[in-house]
Structure 1
Amino acid sequence: MITVPAAPALRLPSSAPGLLLCAAGAAVALILGHAVGVAPLLLAILLGVALANTGLRREGAATRVLAPGTAVAAKNLLRVGVALLGLQLLVPDVLALGWGTLAVAVAVVALGIAGTLWLGARLGLGWTQRLLIACGFSICGAAAAAAVDGMISARTRELVTTVALVVVFGTAMIPLLPMLASGLGLDGTQAGMWAGAAVHEVAQVVAVGGALDNTAVAGAGGALTVAVTVKLARVALLAPVAAGVGIAARRRGATPADTRRPPLVPLFLVGFLACAALRATGILPAPALEVAHSVQVALLAAAMFALGTGVRLDMLRGIGWRPVALAGFATVWVTVIAFAGVLLVHPLG
């Protein structure tokens, strides 16, 4: 009698269930965000938090099955999304802004981070929390916070708090900044430059620039183009800032929980620079860039959903008023620095 060996069972990677869940959460966040006009990253976090506090248990079987995949999404997918952000950089357009405008972008990032770190220390916040808020509010929102988190390994609660605050305060600037620009009598170039230098997220800058182009503030239009280009000048500073954070983290020494020293130049930062260089060549067609942008947003949404699943409401109860106060200060501080820079480069007529 001939015995036929049984075919080996098909085994999915242990991360598959969690990754599928994160993909579903990201899809829901993207669809809802488009339908109701709310930032999908914030929706993704909220969905993850809601699931973690209603349908999952901290030590339940479902949590153990999903944990490998959510860990991959929260770390690996997040870093790939940050790297793809480099494809949004238009280096020639950024350089065409002129040295004055580029100096304003540098001042916003440098002074924004320094001032926020200073006040955060006065408020008694830990180094990782105030650093995440400082970089997120001074550079490019959630992507900057995620990049910095990759260098310092902050607690999940701190990163989630920072992203939520970026979305809340940045969204509040969408109607406020055009109103202020109109009241101050700014033209399209001035208003667009102010928006690009002050608003946190790239998507929020697009919303503000679009609003400016549809008002009397912009005159002949063009505020959106100026705003996005100035914003991308700030995004370009993500790489040197992240590298500087890595150096600072190494000098601070390893913590007892993690004996590894943070890398000076992590792989996702190399990917960010490579994507920026690829975009500068001009060989990528517009459809490919649109697809890459959609992939980037989807990856970040999946990562934010994964981060949300690791948050319990009892964790958030201990946040207190200090991070909120620091985020409010950072928003005002960056906005004032940006406005001062606008007046120096393009004085009021």
Structure 2
Amino acid sequence: MTSPATEPTPSPARSALAWLPGVAAAALAAAAAWGIHWLAPAVPLLTAAVVLGIVVGQLPAARGALAGVLAPGLAVSAKRLMRIGVVLLGLKLSLGDIAGLGWVAILTTVGIVVFSFAGTFLIGRLFRLPGHQPLLIATGFSICGASAIGAMSGVVKPKDEEAATPVALVTLCGTLAIFVLPVFWHPLGLTAVQFGHWVGGGVHDVGQVVATAQIAGPAALAVAIVVKLTRVLMLAPTVAIAAIVERRRQVEGDPSVKRPPIVPLFVAGFIAAVLVRSFVPLPAAFTDGADTLQTILLAMALFGLGTAVRLRTLLGTGWRALATGLLSWALIAGLALGAVWLSA
């Protein structure tokens, strides 16, 4: 038997490529999610990617690989690819489109984010959720779903299980919204455009917004996307504020610890992408390609995040998190409906 002292050490090239199997698995999962979306267009691609990750994470036969050979690549997908995807998400945003909503709609949309974030955070604290879970749930539910959770995770550095539970919750509630909100469209007396405004203000993920609003027609879908992307714009200041708070907390705890930047690089990239989209004429081929790449990267990232979810743990000890998610969902839907009536 070879002694530990004489065992060969991994070559630098092999260590550098340790991420390759996990990234390849995430890419295959993204392709599978695209196939599911193609077969069932009502299922958003990113939602399918998260669900696939959650399903794979529950398979006993897969857990050895998830914790072993695939772990480095899944971590790269869930963190680095997520940040690149968030930067590219900025290319969807045009300040001109947002200004076209009118100042009342803009202010009410910002109000939805602020009050739903604060309300969800307080609900999470009241239910005594551990660690960073109240912050992550508040970020995901109030801004843009699992991608916002990934962006905030890049600042506060939560444990894997702390990020996995909010991802599962925002996926569950966002998927429910696809089927629940249309039921109330006509009973609430909303026009198609008002329904689109409600969906854009009250549904979490961009793909879920598209899946929900498209049933009311192209006008509703256009309004829903602009309102939703206005909420997405709030991701930059929210993450930047969290970075400042985290930096101050670390300074008070241990001045020698390396502190996070005041504005994370990917947040600065997101803002730069918004400005480019707003003021630089971009060819349609470029924006379409960036949109496709952004979707692929976020699908890979969300698959990686989904594999960390353990439903047995969530169902056994996560009733407080589930209650927080459902109450937050109701709060955001109510605030968005109030914004629609106020803007009418």
Do they fold alike, i.e. is TM over 0.5? Answer: yes
Residue type at the aligned position of 1:261 = R
Give the 3-state SS of the residue equivalent to 2:132 in structure 1: helix
Residues 38-92 of structure 1, C-alpha deviation per residue, up to 9 Å, x if partnerless?
Answer: 333343344334445333454x7x8543332222112111111111110111210
CA distance in 2, matches of 1:85, 1:270: 12
Q: Structure 1 stretch 92-101 or stretch 178-187: which is displaced more?
A: 178-187
CA distance in 2, matches of 1:185, 1:319: 40
CA separation of 1:208 and 1:66: change in aligned 2, threshold 3 A: closer
- The residue aligned with 1:39 is 44
Residue type at the aligned position of 1:223 = A
Residue pairs, 1:117-132, within 5 angstroms: 117-132=121-136
- Whether 1:173 and 2:170 are equivalent positions in the alignment is no
Choose the corresponding residue for 1:340, options 314, 333, 338: 338
Choose the corresponding residue for 2:88, options 81, 84, 90: 84
CA distance in 2, matches of 1:195, 1:51: 30
CA distance in 2, matches of 1:63, 1:110: 37
- The residue aligned with 1:326 is 324
- The residue aligned with 1:211 is 215
CA distance in 2, matches of 1:198, 1:310: 27
Residues 140-168 of structure 1, C-alpha deviation per residue, up to 9 Å, x if partnerless?
Answer: 11111111111111122232222222222
Choose the corresponding residue for 2:60, options 54, 63, 85: 54
TM-score for both structures, normalised by structure 1: 0.86
CA separation of 1:336 and 1:17: change in aligned 2, threshold 3 A: same
Contact 2:53 2:307 in 1 (8 A): yes
CA distance in 2, matches of 1:120, 1:310: 21
CA separation of 1:343 and 1:127: change in aligned 2, threshold 3 A: farther
RMSD of equivalent CA atoms: 2.5
- The residue aligned with 1:218 is none
CA distance in 1, matches of 2:343, 2:311: 46
Choose the corresponding residue for 1:305, options 279, 303, 306: 303
- The residue aligned with 2:225 is 228
CA distance in 1, matches of 2:72, 2:117: 34
- Whether 1:242 and 2:239 are equivalent positions in the alignment is yes
CA separation of 1:284 and 1:156: change in aligned 2, threshold 3 A: same
Residue pairs, 1:65-144, within 5 angstroms: 65-144=69-148
Contact 1:42 1:163 in 2 (8 A): no
Residues 261-285 of structure 1, C-alpha deviation per residue, up to 9 Å, x if partnerless?
Answer: 2321111111111211121134222
Q: Is the radius of gyration larger for structure 1 or structure 2?
A: 1
Query: Which residues of structure 1 form unaligned runs of 5+?
Result: 1-7, 214-220
Contact 1:104 1:197 in 2 (8 A): no
Give the 3-state SS of the residue equivalent to 2:339 in structure 1: helix
- The residue aligned with 2:5 is none
CA distance in 1, matches of 2:316, 2:95: 42
CA shift, 1:242, in A, is 0.8
Q: Structure 1 stretch 232-241 or stretch 281-290: which is displaced more?
A: 281-290
Q: Structure 1 stretch 311-320 or stretch 140-149: which is displaced more?
A: 311-320
Query: Which residues of structure 2 form unaligned runs of 5+?
Result: 1-10
CA shift, 1:121, in A, is 0.8
CA distance in 1, matches of 2:109, 2:271: 18
CA shift, 1:133, in A, is 0.9
- The residue aligned with 1:157 is 161
Residue type at the aligned position of 1:251 = R
CA distance in 2, matches of 1:50, 1:184: 36
CA shift, 1:113, in A, is 0.6
CA distance in 1, matches of 2:313, 2:183: 37
CA separation of 1:32 and 1:122: change in aligned 2, threshold 3 A: same
Contact 2:45 2:207 in 1 (8 A): no
CA distance in 2, matches of 1:38, 1:207: 7
TM-score for both structures, normalised by structure 2: 0.87
CA distance in 2, matches of 1:95, 1:223: 17
- The residue aligned with 2:278 is 280
Residues 154-204 of structure 1, C-alpha deviation per residue, up to 9 Å, x if partnerless?
Answer: 122232222222222112222322332311212233222211111111111
CA shift, 1:231, in A, is 0.9
Contact 1:157 1:316 in 2 (8 A): no
